[in-house]
Structure 1
Amino acid sequence: MLILVRHGQTQANRHGLMLGRADPPLCDSGLEQAAVLARGLPRPARLVCSPLVRARQTAACFGVPVELDDRWIEMDYGRLDGCAASELDAAGWQAWRDDPHHVPAGGESMAAVGERVRDACADLVADAAAADVVVVSHVSPIKAAIAWALGVGDEVAWRMWVEDAAVCRIDTSGSTPRLLAFNDHAVHAAALQPSR
């Protein structure tokens, strides 16, 4: 199983800021989310992670060796990094949503994210078919991986919302990937239950 995990919350996430390559740590609630994720998910055969601090802190809670892979880093928002969504005008948002090849000033297109993530997913297919592979990443790469699993284009990214510390599951054991879970938080509830 390919298990995609979004990192826990940061202060920037809490305040609704666009957070790309900026590298803040998890806030206290994000650290707790990461610990709950690690308790609620199976021990992975492989743990792959974005190189950004918020993802590495989340991955560290699993207690297994971490493989850093730059292909899972968040989209580069360029000059919009750290800004509130309201700082981009309606025409700017429309251009971004209408064209997956649109590049925000100094940043990266959704198509570029999709290309690198599809390569990363293809590299994990065989291992994820045999055992659980957890990838700790960010909103845009997770959206790109979901698009890969569904066999659709990068333009669907704007139709998804990925929550803090959410889990998505992709079965790679068949001839094509199958999306089994999206934005799953059931793992959180299970991890908070007392042991029997």
Structure 2
Amino acid sequence: MTAFALHLLRHGAPETPGLLMGRTDGAPTSAGIAACAARAEGLGIERLIASDLRRSRAAGEVIGEASGVPLVVDPRWRELDFGEWDGQPASAVDPDAFVRFRDDPDVNPPPGGESWAALVARVSAAIRDLAPAPTLIVTHGGAMRAALHALCGFDQRQLWAFDLPYAARLSLRVWPGERSGAQIAGLYA
């Protein structure tokens, strides 16, 4: 099957930066939305998807209006649920627990939160459901890393080597199918 362009765009800066924002539905700044819209210009997309959290959805709505491509909201593209840590600054979390989480988020997920494997499973399911057409997904840093794991096989340690600041776009060429794979076409931060 023919490869298609898949662009993963991290949401813009939230009004309250520096928090572990998984399911926390923080509002984006207007500058963050504008940065996402600028990063999406000229991509020639046919499909537009966003996480249901407003920091992603708001940018998706603006991009949809500008491009004329209807926005589809898909909660599978949400950030990792940080459980009891959600909405807290990392400095408020027990440092040893946070290091254990960063070292192995499957064995040491946030208390009451989501495991890495669960995040990868839902993002992988969302990827399998994509139509093979140029697509932009406005999502979150964790979901972008989960997509890289699913499509390119990077392990957890390698994924932390990717700097994905707010409004960063990761462009991939995806070969769909039962054993889909991808090639990184660019990272724009």
- The TM-score bracket by the shorter chain reads 0.7 to 0.9
Instruction: Give the Cα separation in 1 of the matches to 2:150 and 2:184.
Output: 10
Q: Which moved more, 1:146-155 or 1:97-106?
A: 146-155
- 1:44 is matched with 45
Instruction: Give the Cα separation in 2 of the matches to 1:89 and 1:159.
Output: 23
Find the partner of 1:142 among 123, 144, 149. Answer: 144
- 2:74 is matched with 69
**CA shift at 1:97, angstroms?**
2.0
Please give the residue correspondences for 1:7-86 in structure 2 after superposition, counting only pairs within 5 Å.
7-13=11-17, 16-38=18-40, 40-62=41-63, 63=65, 64-86=69-91
- One-letter amino acid matched to 2:75: D
Whether contact under 8 Å (1:110, 1:140) holds in the other structure is: no
- 1:114 is matched with 120
- Root-mean-square deviation (CA), in Å? 1.9
SS of 1:76 mapped into structure 2: coil
Say if 2:176 is the partner of 1:170: no
- One-letter amino acid matched to 1:114: V
Query: Which one has the bigger helix percentage?
Result: 1
Where structure 2 has 5 or more consecutive residues not aligned to the other structure, the ranges are none
Please give the residue correspondences for 1:90-101 in structure 2 after superposition, counting only pairs within 5 Å.
90-101=95-106
| TM-score after normalising by structure 1 | 0.82
SS of 2:49 mapped into structure 1: strand
- One-letter amino acid matched to 2:60: A
Whether contact under 8 Å (2:9, 2:36) holds in the other structure is: no
Q: How many residues align?
A: 177
SS of 2:145 mapped into structure 1: helix
- 1:105 is matched with 111
